């Protein structure tokens, strides 16, 4: 299994990681791996939140409307 070395960790960060590892009954290495995995895991966003964001962006857009042909061309441009 691959390994990495992290250098120059600020002492305060090291102490917080060590304390968290003790609280979670993990080794320091296990705590670091768990935190990295959690930070890189895909996040599911509820559909309703996505729709709200899309509507907000749509309302702020004041450019010309795209035609279906333009959308198809843009989509196809990125495909081999």
Residue 60, CA distances (Å) to 39, 45, 56, 78 in order? 31, 22, 6, 26
According to the model, what pLDDT value does residue 80 have? 65
According to the model, what pLDDT value does residue 78 have? 78
Residue 69, CA distances (Å) to 54, 64, 66, 75 in order? 21, 14, 8, 10
According to the model, what pLDDT value does residue 79 have? 73
According to the model, what pLDDT value does residue 31 have? 97
According to the model, what pLDDT value does residue 17 have? 96
Residues of the chain with pLDDT under 50: none
């Amino acid at each position: 299994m691959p390994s990495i070395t992290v250098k120059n960790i600020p002492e305060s960060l090291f102490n917080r990681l060590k304390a968290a590892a003790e609280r979670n009954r993990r080794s320091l290495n296990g705590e670091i791996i768990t935190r990295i995995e959690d930070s890189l895991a895909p996040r599911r966003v509820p559909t309703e939140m996505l729709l709200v964001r899309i509507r907000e962006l749509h309302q702020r857009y004041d450019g010309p409307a795209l035609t279906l042909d333009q959308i198809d061309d843009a989509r196809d441009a990125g495909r081999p």
